[in-house]
Amino acid sequence: MTRRSCDGEGLLRAFRSAVDAIEASVDELNALNVYPVPDGDTGSNMLATVRAALEEGERVGGDQADRVAAAISFGALMGARGNSGVILSQVFRGISEGFEGKHRFNGLDVANALSMGSRTAYAAVVKPVEGTILTVVRESAAAAVEAAERENDIEVVVRAALEAADRALARTPSLLPVLREAGVVDAGGAGFYRVLQGVYRQLTGDEAGAPGPSRAIGPRPSAVVAHADEGFGYETMYLLEAGPGRSLDLDAIRRHLEGIGESVLVAGDARAVKIHVHSERPDVVVAYGLDLGTLSRISIENLDRQATDVRAGRGGSVAVAPLASGSADAPHGSGWAEMADQGTGAAPSPDGTPAAPAAATPGPRVPLAVVAVASGDGLAAIFESFGVSAVVRGGQSANPSTGELLKAVSSIAADEVLVLPNNPNVVMAARQAAQLTDRPVHVVPTRNAAEGVAALLALDPSLGGGANIEPMTEAGRAVQTLQVTEAVRDAKVDGRKVKRGHTLVLDPDDGLVAVDPDRERSILAGIDALRPGYELLTLYYGEGVDLSAAEDVARRIAEHVPDVEVEVVRGGQAHYAFLLAAE
């Protein structure tokens, strides 16, 4: 039977089915990792994101599709975990904007919403990488539009999108060499496929009738690769308020900025807008704003300093998620200007009321504070000893959400905040949280706790947060780090054969640097790959490793590099027996 239209209740039922589909495949998605390490968490991150979205959607309910879509978007935004979760939240944000003002929707509306979801997700990444979830979303949206223009039927449109997602997912190895070498597909894209599959199953009411993945997701392990960015000049952001008697033309502002930069986002209304743009000339971007009105909350970051590559373990992608007037993230507000007036540091909820931030830390307000993410009691204690204002627990397989990071930032009585994500899969959520605050929040893209400690040592409290980003990032990168774990399956990585149970030594820049059945031999081989000239090697031992075993490893290292001082520190991190830092 032709399904011409659907309302908010129908949308909510479809989304429940999508969450069920992710939940049923979470272990499969977690296993999809280029590196055969025990901390694959794409499935867990995507499940946490869609569960948070569903909870918000259930809270709003009702038969108005736009309100349900806005609630789902808001829940995903605040609950987003990991790079895959953040990108998925941006897809939902665009979909919500596509449903804006619609109590019911048809097949053409679905196709348009998917297209807006794809565009929003691409705009949220500095330099999109093909062969990831972005490709799968874009090609499914294109197929949906083509189908809707032939037959305005929701079931037909969703099926076309699902089949296109399957084809696109199967092609991801041909677009990313690291996937091709492993003979696998992108896990973020696989997760989005499952979302569409769940929606289609609810529409048809036939569990067996939904097309399964013909090639993309098979019985063998698949893989995910970090969504990598390369820098593009400078990221410039500010709040622009119209001068007396003047109003702002958002479309004209957007067109002008697109002529001088990339990743342009203009959100707000005729009174005040939040500006975000990447360009080589931040001075020109700022000067343009000054011609239109008054500027505040100006932030300029050098993205080329934060350039990343596709290799696993390298710094995470940059995501931006500004609120827009009437958007999914602020469905009844007036964009960034209203949030600034609230002064809460938290985004408004879908019913238009501001979300309650955490209570500010008692004591005097400070100019600059630091929030650090840490996995393990030992690492958390180290950051606390350095005087960070808040430690957010989490790391690999336990990425903190955007909302959790936002809560930590909001709890601090400080004019500016620096965030140390200490994990490439937390950087995107940290940057998304930064976009939702009422004060300048800057992310130093540290990739592990050792880089975070080095970055803290380079912090100059007399400077503003923006001025500290570059020296802190450089200090973190100056430390050579290695992570030691155990392979959970057979694989081929960077041209090397890996067997289950072998010890892997991973470098955040060079990937797999050593593998051996014997843990100590593998660690010593990894140390041999370090650049010479370091004088101190710190051995952070993790969960499941006792002090005696850590001291034994330290003695072997000291014998192997006798001119280097070796220090043992309890880290308590999960999944990685050791984190080594050479400086």
What is the per-residue pLDDT across 357-406, written as a single tens digit (0 to 9) for each?
344 444 578 999 999 999 889 999 999 998 999 999 886 667 899 999 99
C-alpha triplet 365, 367, 368: angle, nearest 5°: 110
Rounded Cα distance between 309 and 244, Å, is 46
Q: What is the CATH number of the domain that holds 327?
A: 3.30.70
Q: Residues near 4 by Cβ (< 8 Å), separated by ≥ 6? A: 106, 107, 152, 153, 154
Shared-domain flag, residues 412 and 559? no
Q: Do 463 and 443 belong to one domain?
A: yes
DSSP 346: S
State the Cα angle at 119 between 115 and 121, rounded to 5°: 115
Q: Is the pLDDT of residue 523 over 80?
A: yes
- 456, 478, 500: which is the final residue of a domain? 478
Ranges 2-11, 187-196, 224-233: which has the least confidence = 224-233
Residues 148 and 51 in one domain: yes
Q: What is the DSSP string of 437-470?
A: SSS-EEE----SHHHHHHHHHT--TTS-HHHHHH
- Same domain assignment for residues 460 and 527: no
**Same domain for 98 and 150?**
yes
Q: Are 299 and 437 in contact (CB under 8 A)?
A: no
CB atoms within 10 A of CB 2: 10
Say whether both 35 and 70 belong to one domain: yes
The reply to whether 275 falls in a domain is yes
Q: What is the pLDDT of residue 243?
A: 82
Considering only residues 325 and 275, tell me which one the structure prediction assigns the higher pLDDT: 275
- Same domain (yes/no): 282, 300: yes
Collect all residues with Cβ–Cβ distance below 8 Å to 97 and sequence separation of at least 6. 113, 116, 120, 324, 327, 328
Structure tokens at 563: 């001119």
CA dihedral over 356, 360, 365, 369, signed as positive or negative: negative
Tell me if the pTM is above 0.75: no
CB atoms near residue 510 (< 10 Å): 13
Q: Say which residue, 268 or 337, is predicted with more confidence.
A: 268
d(CA 403, CA 75): 9
The residue type at 161: A
| pLDDT confidence of residue 277 | 82
Cα angle value 266/268/272 (rounded, 5°): 105
**Structure-block tokens of residue 525:** 């081989």
**pLDDT tens for residues 439-485?**
899 999 999 999 999 999 999 988 889 999 999 999 999 999 999 99
Mean pLDDT of 73-84: 91
Residues 490 and 506 in one domain: yes
> Of 22-26, 214-218, 326-330, which has the strongest mean pLDDT?
22-26
For residues 24 and 173, membership in a common domain is answered with yes
In-domain check, residue 226: no
Which percentage of the chain shows pLDDT scores above 90? Answer: 56
**Residue 490: count of CB within 10 angstroms of its CB:** 13
- Residue 495 corresponds to which amino acid? G
Domain assignment of residue 315, yes or no:
no
Letter string b/e over residues 60-77, b meaning 16 or more CB atoms within 10 A of that residue's CB? beeebbbbbbbbbbbbbb
Residue 458: give its domain's CATH number.
Answer: 3.40.50.510
Model confidence at 231, pLDDT cuts 50, 70, 90, reads very low
Residue 210, domain member (yes or no): no
Residues 517 and 534 in one domain: yes
Q: Does residue 246 sit within a domain? A: yes
pLDDT for 175: 87
Same domain, 334 and 367: no
Closest CA to 3 of 161, 164, 142, 148: 148
Residue 430, domain member (yes or no): yes
Helix (H) or strand (E) holding 89: helix 82-98
DSSP for residue 380: H
Among residues 478, 505, 526, which one ends one of the domains?
Answer: 478
Output the pLDDT for position 221: 31
Q: Number of structural domains, the chain?
A: 4
Candidates 266, 272, 367; CA nearest to 320 is: 266
The verdict on residue 10 lying in a domain is yes
Tokens standing for 65? 């599709």
Would 221 be classed as within a structural domain? Answer: no
Strands laid side by side in the 390-393 sheet: 390-393, 366-374, 414-420, 441-443
In the predicted model, is pLDDT for residue 38 greater than 90? no
Domain residues for the domain of 514 are 480-582
| 332 in the same domain as 237 | yes
- Mean pLDDT score, 124-136: 87
Residue 178 sits in a domain whose CATH number is 1.25.40.340
Q: What is the pLDDT of residue 397?
A: 63
Q: What is the mean pLDDT of the chain?
A: 82
Q: Which of 417, 447, 478 is the last residue in one of the domains?
A: 478
CB atoms < 10 A from the CB of 477, how many?
A: 20
Residue 157 predicted with pLDDT over 60: yes
Q: What is the pLDDT of residue 306?
A: 42
The answer to whether 68 touches 16, Cβ cutoff 8 Å, is no
CATH number of the domain that residue 567 is part of: 3.30.1180
Average pLDDT over residues 6-10: 94
